[in-house]
Structure 1
Amino acid sequence: MTTQELASVRYIVDDVGTAVDFYTAHLGFTLHTNPAPAFADVIRGPLRLLLSGPASSGARATPDHSAVPGRNRIHLIVDDLDAEIDRLRGAGIAFDSELTAGPGGRQILLSDPAGNLIELFEPATH
């Protein structure tokens, strides 16, 4: 799969190395390129996550008010949400929400070291 075939999302991060470590160590991403300290990108399945540090052109092009993390987030599907929660808690990762269940499945939110939201989602079995 080439980078043109991937869906890319840009996250503004405080420290590129810390972000790369978080996504690769805890969420199953692999490092694609890393011209740190300004930028790196990591890949998980068809998702390419662009990690832009303060010195990157992507971060400089972002108005100050829009760089504040909001309710938008990447959505990562997992097979066993309970096991993922236990594994991440064991690694010292805190969660931003309680486990929530609905008709489509169960989810929980956490943040990366820069405060960008991540949703872990286990689809309901029908």
Structure 2
Amino acid sequence: MDNEFKISNNPTGQELIDDIALITNTIATLSEYVAKTKNILAQADDTYKRIWDMKYLMYSEQYPKINQVKLKAMVNTDDDVVRAKAVLLDAKEKSILADSKYKSWDNRFIAVRKIASIKTTEMQTIER
């Protein structure tokens, strides 16, 4: 959808109306998607922290005399922690992409609104 939309060099009034409708609908859809990705990101972050803490406690009880650097290395390389970290990173990536798409469409909306404002001013000048 992103690659298909282009703002015309000299859009007609109807094209501007159509563009604004398309953009606002797309922004509304993306807004919902951004909210969902942020929620998924928050859940993934909570899960990662919970698993990390559980593994930290588990390893510190198993190896009470281990130094902190080794303990953290054991936790960070634990399979469950690695999987949770991968899910967290994937959620971060999707959230960043969703934000980027939203901002891209928001910028299009600003550009089309500005063009519409210029066209309105032009029409008012011609009518005088």
Query: Is the TM value for this pair above 0.5?
Result: no
Larger Rg: 2
- More helix per residue: 2
Give TM class, smaller chain. under 0.3
Q: Give the TM-score of the pair, scaled to structure 2.
A: 0.19
